[in-house]
């Protein structure tokens, strides 16, 4: 468990909880603790799905600019790869991941939400990539993941201007998936993640990998990725359980074991 980031587990759901007062600024220490929490969530068999949450007041207001201000080009050449890979560790968790967004999710905070499979936001949440106002660009996946999520035109508008995106607009353009009253966001995210507590873990893993890898390649290659993942699941105990249960008892009644 890190000083500012911890993994809390209950009923099959792991919450990666950011807790660095006051605004969850994402300094190097926090970045590395996010990486460690993602690795732990990936490895633990009792974690079936993951919620990423910054608390009731703020998701994360961005990078620690005071820390970055004195960094040179060579400093950032050394650090930028680790910055990206810390966030990519969340994107690569081989389980369903949802971001629960309260308050501000700006800069690196917004980029962290983009690493989730699904995003739930509070009605008063504010997202954005304001790096251009500091004379730089998003460096933890914002130019890439945001573009894949909302399309190049909308991504360019958000990145070029550095403007804030309120929850209603974020929902309309697909930047978030659902909007709730602020005091319900985390509970709703946990409820979504909890749906997978007794699911077929390797099938979920295969589905996520097929989608994530497939969108990066041409259709024929994507279909081959899918075919291989599909066939491989016939080696799992859960596939046998699921199909036998369907034949004997009908759909949706299988008791999966995660193997």
Residue numbers annotated as active site: 63, 108, 111, 131
| Separation between Cα atoms, residue 146 and residue 221, nearest integer Å | 23
Q: Map residue 53 onto helix, strand or coil.
A: strand
Say how many CA atoms lie within 13 Å of 81 toward its Cβ.
Answer: 4
Sign of the torsion formed by the C-alpha atoms of 49, 243, 215 and 147:
negative
Q: Give how far Cα 178 sits from Cα of 58, 100, 125, 167, Å.
A: 17, 10, 12, 9
- Cβ atoms within 10 A of the Cβ of 122, count? 23
| Separation between Cα atoms, residue 252 and residue 81, nearest integer Å | 43
| Separation between Cα atoms, residue 144 and residue 12, nearest integer Å | 31
According to DSSP, residue 131 is labeled: G
């Amino acid at each position: 468990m890190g000083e500012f980031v911890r993994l809390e587990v209950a009923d099959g759901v792991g919450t990666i909880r950011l807790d660095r007062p006051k605004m969850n600024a994402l300094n190097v220490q926090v970045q590395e603790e996010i990486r460690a929490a993602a690795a732990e969530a990936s490895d633990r068999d009792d974690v079936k799905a993951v919620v990423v949450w910054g608390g009731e007041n703020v998701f994360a207001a961005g990078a620690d600019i005071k820390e970055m201000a004195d960094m040179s080009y060579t400093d950032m050449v050394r650090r930028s790869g680790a910055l990206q890979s810390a966030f990519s560790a969340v994107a690569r968790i081989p389980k369903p991941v949802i971001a629960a967004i309260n308050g501000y999710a700006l800069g690196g905070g917004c980029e962290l939400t983009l690493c989730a499979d699904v995003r739930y936001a509070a009605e008063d949440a504010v997202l954005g990539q304001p790096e251009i106002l500091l004379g730089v660009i998003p460096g933890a996946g914002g130019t890439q993941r945001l573009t894949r999520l909302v399309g190049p035109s909308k991504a360019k508008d958000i990145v070029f201007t550095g403007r804030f995106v309120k929850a209603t607009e974020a929902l309309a353009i697909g930047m978030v998936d659902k909007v709730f009253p602020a005091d319900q966001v985390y509970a709703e995210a946990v409820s979504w993640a909890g749906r997978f507590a007794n699911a077929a873990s390797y099938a979920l893993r295969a589905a996520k990998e097929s989608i994530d890898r497939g969108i990066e390649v041409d259709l024929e290659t994507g279909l081959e990725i899918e075919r291989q993942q599909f066939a491989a699941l016939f080696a799992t105990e859960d596939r046998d359980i699921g199909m036998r249960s369907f034949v004997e008892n009908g759909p949706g009644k299988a008791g999966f074991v995660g193997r």
